[in-house]
Amino acid sequence: MSVLVYAEIAEGTLKNTSLEAIYYGSKVAEQTSQSLLVLAIGKAENTALEIAGNYGASKVLHANSSNLEVANIVAYSDVLTQAAEKFDSKIIITAKSSLADAVTARTAGALQAGVVGNVTELPDLSNGFTVTRSIFTGKAFAQTSINSDVKILGLKKNAISPEVSDVKATIESFNAEISEGAMNAKVVDTIKATGVVPLPEADLVVSGGRGLKGPEHWQPLLDLADALGASTACSKPVSDLDWRPHHEHVGQTGVKIAPNLYIACGISGAIQHLAGVNSSKVIVVINTDPEAPFFKAADYGIVGDAFEVLPKLTAAVKALN
Amino acid sequence: MKILVCISSVPDTTAKISFSDNNTSFNKEGVALIIGPYDDYALARAVELKEESGGTLTVLNVGTSETEPQIRKALAIGADDAIRVDAEPTDSFFVAEQIAHIAKEGNYDLIMMGRETTDYNSGVVHGIVGQILGIPSLSPVMELTIEGNTAKISREIEGGKEKLEASLPLVLGCQEPIAEWKIANMRGIMSARKKPLNVVPPVGEALTSVTNYSMPPEKGACKMIPAEEAEALIELLRKEAKVI
């Protein structure tokens, strides 16, 4: 028996949230006296996968063939399912993402597994197998018991703070049979913003709302994000108005984020927006309206004009560097 | 073309969340239920596709009788008929099993739903359905056009978009801007009352169960910094909050 972590590869390296999942997996392996296996799918050098050892994995199974270079939900879940079967894994762990959700969903279908997403703590094994998960987009938690033989957990970002060692994992290649239907869905084009950390992975996020009054006024916000090395986000109205691209929309019906720092400029803090960002460790709100509801959810607040405040913050960050 | 749209019934996005019975059940008092916002996008696009191609559109809900207003609304927006699987939708696998069971019997070309429900946010039901049926599942779908037997799809990926082509049948998890939400007109509302709604018993069993609910800890007071000393924030974030 083994605990199996599916670790995502992005741009040839393991995603940070997947490293958290590996560390979480090593703790579950300890709890249940099992070994830990990590499965990575797609193109990556061995040196990029060895880092899994720092997070508690002694071995990484690497599945890489020409039909696995582009993420394919059916093919990836075939690989995950066969790895779980071969190594008798009853607990499968991933970091929640749109790819991991899609892959583990199919694996759950194949293995008749109970699947629970947005897990925020280590499982409680005192009475069966119970996990705490975030529900209602971060507004509450549900302690959920998984009663199936195979269990699949999707971790929320920051569910655990890893302690890192300098151990390197060994890499072993893993081959799986890909079902015929996998290539039915053909990718014809990919459009990707390069050089920015995708929002679900970002530790620092600067975000703008309608209070910034128009897309032509985004520069001060971009300057601060650039100085901090932060990703940029926006509220739903801003994305609906096409001031910013859709993938920047954070909120209940957009991307849900859990950065260490979220700076909101000109966003009043509607309940739907808060739902997407309330897992941030520290929230800063900058708004001209002292009555903006967002201040109630914030750790630090500045009542003022973002166009005057942002350049001051940018200058202060630059002075540090 | 035969389309099946699966809708969830969830608390309105502005609803205040609380629990009763010693934190073992969701407090429904004063909470308005709506069609899941993402499911509503799927439904809107499905209605457009039906109008374009002249197919049929069935709406499916796994829920108790209290979800019937949401089902009637979907019928008023443009679905032809509805099926309700009479069970609490508490577990992703269980809900997917119901959908797959209905889908197998109905032989649908397209099975559409939202990317996730806004109550449990798991986002896995479409994938499980696809696996059980042995057909591809794609999510989150932002654009969808059908040409003959081929679906042309644009899907959101982290930090960008992916364009795909796939042959039917397919399972799709949808999100904006796939279509604009539709509002039922008076004729739709009148005709929805007469459209068939079949209630069927569930199959199989849930694999997970919620034992207890809890609320996040209250946020402490917000520390205010005068705008004219805004730069002091950076020092606080560095030394006090230790996030930069």
**What is the per-residue pLDDT for A195?**
66
CB proximity B215 to A under 8 Å: yes
What is the rounded CA–CA span in Å between residue A227 and residue A212?
19
Phi, psi of B65 (to 5 degrees): -60, -20
Kindly report the nearest CA distance between residue A124 and chain B, in angstroms: 12
**pLDDT higher than threshold 80 for residue A321:** no
Q: What Å distances lie between residue B39 and A287, B55, B141, CA to CA?
A: 33, 19, 12
CB proximity B160 to A under 8 Å: yes
Helix H or strand E segment including B209: strand B208-214
CB proximity B162 to A under 8 Å: yes
Helix H or strand E segment including B143: strand B137-147
Average pLDDT over residues A37-63: 96
**What is the per-residue pLDDT for B21?**
92
**pLDDT higher than threshold 80 for residue A320:** yes
Half-sphere exposure of A206 (CA within 13 A, CB side): 21
Residues B80-96 have pLDDT tens digits of: 999 999 999 999 999 99
The most confident of the ranges A64-68, A146-150, A245-249 is A146-150
Average pLDDT over residues B196-218: 95
Residue type, A249: H
Which among B166, B175, B211 is the nearest to A185, CB-wise? B166
Residues B93-118 have pLDDT tens digits of: 999 999 999 999 999 999 999 999 99
Which among B156, B167, B208 is the nearest to A145, CB-wise? B208
**pLDDT higher than threshold 90 for residue B62:** yes
User: Contacts of residue B109 in chain A, CB cutoff 8 Å?
Assistant: none
**What is the per-residue pLDDT for A187?**
86
**pLDDT higher than threshold 90 for residue B60:** yes
**What is the per-residue pLDDT for A243?**
97
Residue A164's pLDDT band (cuts 50, 70, 90):
very high
User: Which residues, in sequence order, are bridge partners of residue A287?
Assistant: A303
User: Contacts of residue A149 in chain B, CB cutoff 8 Å?
Assistant: none
Helix H or strand E segment including B170: strand B170-174
What lies within 8 Å, CB to CB, of A263 at 6+ separation is: A205, A206, A207, A224, A230, A284, A286
Share of chain A above pLDDT 90, in %: 82
User: Contacts of residue B212 in chain A, CB cutoff 8 Å?
Assistant: 142-143
Residues A223/A311, Cβ–Cβ less than 8 Å: yes
Share of chain B above pLDDT 90, in %: 89
How many other CB atoms are there within 10 angstroms of residue A296's CB atom? 13
Residues A196-218 have pLDDT tens digits of: 788 988 999 999 999 999 999 99
**What is the per-residue pLDDT for A197?**
81
Residues A81-118 have pLDDT tens digits of: 999 999 999 999 999 998 999 999 999 999 999 999 99
Average pLDDT over residues B219-229: 92
Residue ranges of alpha helices (H) inside A186-305 are 219-228, 236-240, 271-277
Superfamily grouping for domain B2-217: HUPs (3.40.50.620)
**pLDDT higher than threshold 80 for residue B159:** no
Q: Do A253 and B38 lie within an 8 Å CB cutoff?
A: yes
Residues A170-182 have pLDDT tens digits of: 999 999 999 887 7
Q: Do B92 and A108 lie within an 8 Å CB cutoff?
A: yes
**What is the per-residue pLDDT for B127?**
96
Residues A286/A310, Cβ–Cβ less than 8 Å: yes
What is the rounded CA–CA span in Å between residue B55 and residue A82?
38
Residues A119-161 have pLDDT tens digits of: 999 999 999 999 999 999 888 999 999 999 999 999 999 889 9
Domains of chain A: 2-184 (3.40.50.620), 199-320 (3.40.50.1220)
